A and B are shown apart, each in its own frame.
Chain A
Amino acid sequence: MNRILALALAGALAASTAEAKDTLSLGMVLEPPHLDPTAGAAAAIREVTYANLYEGLVRIDAEGKVRPALAASWSVSPDGLTYTFRLHRNVTFQDGSPFDCSTVAFSYGRALTPDSVNAQKGLFEPIRSVTCPDPHTAVVELKRPTASFLFGMGWGDAVMVSPRSIAADKTHPIGTGPFRFVRWVRGDHIVLERWPGYWGKKPALKEITFRFITDPNAAATAMLSGALDAFPNFPAPEVLARLRADAKLRVVVGTTEGKTVLALNEAKKPFDDIRVRRALAMAIDRKGLIEAAMSGYGVPIGSHYVPTDPGYVDLTGVYPYDPARARALLAEAGVRPGTQIAITLPPPAYARRGGEVIAAYLAQVGITAKLVPVEWAQWLDTVFAHGDYDATVISHTEPRDLDIYARRHYYFHYHSAAYRALWEQYQRTTDPKQADVLLGELQRKLAHDEPNVFLFALPKLGVWNAKLHGLWHNSPIPANDVTGVSWGK
């Protein structure tokens, strides 16, 4: 009798665990243009695929640390020039094609070709060669010691792709990750499902649906009604109070790598004049901006670096809010009151609203800002690709990307030999103490030159079902890594 009861009980338990939820419906504001992170800059590509579908040799974890992924371990030669990666065995892509050292050579080699469309070619630039002493060992030789190399290989841009599927990865992605692509209904959602052939730890979730919802009110309603389980990057800070009041939901305010700046086109007058750039910096009250545009969420920054990253130096006091001084500097630079500038604004609320607040601040020092709202594609084309703009409000979400100011061609046209020299020196340094000092110098140089007006670190406003565990609280790189997510009681 007891045995029968026990059996029945076990059956009931089994039934209840079988009923436990193992799917996840996750909201995103932007839909990715395609699904190949090695061929596009859009953060949304990574927010669907990173760690879920594609993997690299190493990966960045929720804390921003470099962890093993397809490489079980690695060693670095004392001169910092040779990285030897020992690869996991028995790894295949989701289409059955094998993963070994030749895949590494292919993936890195593809990013290195002159016609590479990788959005972060700079990450691969230090690589001299990739050699394969055996199929499960990859040896990467560098041209010079590069402090940030391993971290860079953890980015979405450095994931492993198969030569067999690469041509179709944009619409039908194939990776080595624990989830495989199921379908994409354009303008609506993307579905991934657990892939039984995964080499590593099996994730708890069986199916994930990424839904694209641009309207903040619709996003809030979807969360409140339970139509969505999670919105890891919630678009409207002013709605958080309402969501927080719902016991079913959990609101987590974390940090991102987003350096929100008023980017200035230094190839154009009057932005080539450092006095004008300083004046603009002093005309804008960052705290007021965060309050008005972000409902108080966000932390002021004084350089192109966020407080959560190693080696951060607080430079928010370099150009304090001082409209009178700003007016004087503008007069000194010969910028007459009533001068008009255009500020191009991409769709996110931080840009559209931030732009409106910035325009009001600039009006106080006699600058008339014309606001030009644009769609993402248009922003990427006119501003980012062609550098055709006066000023724009944008958040740079790539982590520790001080290198963009050392690039010879970049959309804000900042050219400083001194900065470039500092950057190269920093890249070559293998001594951590010296690297730290140089990191500080880099930040100071930018704060001093103010190529862009540094505004605030973008917060990560996460909202999800209180029973969900394992979603990232912070955003060290753009990702919605759900490999460790599970439903609790």
Chain B
Amino acid sequence: MKPGQAQLAAGGALALVLVGMAALSLVWTPYPAEAIDVAHRLAAPSAAHLLGTDPFGRDELSMLMVGARTSLAIALVAVLAGAGAGIPLGALAAALGKWPEQALMRAADLAFAFPALLTAVMIAALAGPGTTNAMLAIGIFNIPVFARITRAAAKSVLEREFVTAARAIGRGEVSVLLRHVLPNVAPQLLVQASIQFALAIVADAGLAYVGLGTQPPEPSWGRMLADAQTYVFDRPGLAIYPGLAVTLAVLGFNLLGDGLRDRLDPRLRGRD
């Protein structure tokens, strides 16, 4: 078996289920996820409600499906935003060197000094709760992650002979970065992106849990968990399902990242 294949398969499968669930929720859910049905509140799982209903009589499964969509959308935008700002900054730092590099990296260190989730909570608290601000908050704490890894990878590529050769034939720094450096650091960034994606899902759930993420009535896993707290003795399922959803999503994207790393790592490549 090729390195990382098992992780890739398992992670890919989990991610696929999640994405499938989210995609399906765009066109179909068993019930409208926001529709309440007081007569059937806190119903146990049955044929009518596969995972039962919540204290307002909303269908758990429908909420989980729409919650997957919310969660994935936030994670995707946050990672893209973090990468979009972090990669150019990191590449620039590596190419410019000297004080701009120092300044950028010290700024990144400063950002790292704060726990990521705390940063997100702080940003969301300042900007106000909501889906967009959650994306923004998680995106911002992703910037230094991508900046650092890009810089480190780019530094080593910049010292390689083919870069010197490219410079020798008169290519500009921007062109060198785009045509020679980025393609070489892309695999590492892809791996990092999937790990950051998993972290973003946890961060989103955390923000929603403390009331700073997606606002009701739109379903989100973190808020489902928070709402389930006081019902945990009567209906443990209400806490278990969203908790399990977050866990599996994080596991899936982490495995995917691990698998990708093993697969793309040149030192491991060809050792099958």
Contacts and interface: CB of A to CB of B under 8 A. Distances in A.
A291 B38 contact: yes
Interface stretch (B2-10, B43-51, B85-93, B226-234): B226-234
Contacts of B230: 216-217, 220, 236, 238-239
B231 A238 contact: yes
A289 B38 CA distance: 8
Contact of A242 (B41, B55, B211, B233): B233
B56 A356 contact: yes
B215 A360 contact: no
Given A292-B36, A360-B34, 7 more contacts: A236-B230, A238-B55, A295-B55, A356-B216, A357-B36, A373-B211, A373-B215
B156 to A, nearest CB: 48
Interface in B28-66: 34-36, 38, 41, 55-57
Contacts of B129: 373
A292 B35 contact: no
Contacts of B211: 373
Nearest to A242: B233
Contacts of A217: 229-230
Interface of B: 34-36, 38, 41, 55-57, 129, 211, 215-217, 229-231, 233-234
B129 to A, nearest CB: 7
Given A292-B41, A371-B215, A371-B216, A360 B55 contact: no
B56 A357 contact: yes
Interface of A: 216-217, 220, 236, 238-239, 241-242, 285, 288-289, 291-293, 295, 353, 355-357, 359-361, 363, 371, 373
A371 B36 contact: no
A29 B229 CA distance: 17
Contacts of B34: 360, 363
Contact of B217 (A236, A242, A356, A373): A356
Contacts of B217: 356, 359-360, 363, 371
Nearest to B215: A371
Contacts of A238: 55, 230-231, 234
Contacts of B231: 238
Nearest to A355: B216
B216 A292 contact: no
A356 B217 CA distance: 6
Contacts of A295: 55
A292 B233 contact: no
A292 B38 contact: yes
Contacts of A363: 34-35, 217
Contact of A291 (B41, B216, B229, B233): B41
A201 B217 CA distance: 53
B55 A359 contact: no
Given A360-B56, A360-B217, A241 B234 contact: yes
Contact of A359 (B41, B57, B216, B229): B216
A289 B234 CA distance: 20
Most buried by B among A238, A241, A295, A355: A238
A295 B57 CA distance: 12
Nearest to B211: A373
Which of B38, B57, B229, B233 has the most A CB atoms < 10 Å from its CB?
A: B38
Q: 4 tightest CB-CB pairs across the interface, nearest first? A: A288-B38, A360-B36, A292-B56, A236-B230
A195 B98 CA distance: 71
A20 B217 CA distance: 51
Nearest to B216: A356
A357 B34 CA distance: 10
A292 B55 contact: yes
B158 to A, nearest CB: 49
Nearest to A347: B211
B42 to A, nearest CB: 9
Nearest to B56: A292
Contacts of B215: 371, 373
A347 B57 CA distance: 22
A382 to B, nearest CB: 13
Contacts of B216: 355-356, 359, 371
B236 to A, nearest CB: 13
Contacts of A285: 38
A220 B231 CA distance: 12
A353 B228 CA distance: 12
Nearest to A220: B230
A242 B235 CA distance: 12
Contact of B35 (A236, A360, A371): A360
A216 B228 CA distance: 12
A241 B233 CA distance: 10
A292 to B, nearest CB: 5
A123 B215 CA distance: 40
A241 B231 CA distance: 11
Nearest to A361: B36
Most chain A beta-carbon neighbours within 10 Å: one of B41, B55, B230, B231:
B230
A92 B61 CA distance: 65
B166 to A, nearest CB: 54
Nearest to B235: A238
A283 to B, nearest CB: 13
A373 B217 CA distance: 12
A241 to B, nearest CB: 7
B89 to A, nearest CB: 35
Nearest to B218: A371
Contacts of B233: 242
B127 to A, nearest CB: 14
A215 to B, nearest CB: 8
A292 B234 CA distance: 15
Nearest to A241: B234
Contacts of A361: 36
B133 to A, nearest CB: 13
Nearest to B38: A288
Contacts of A373: 129, 211, 215
A390 B229 CA distance: 31
Nearest to A369: B217
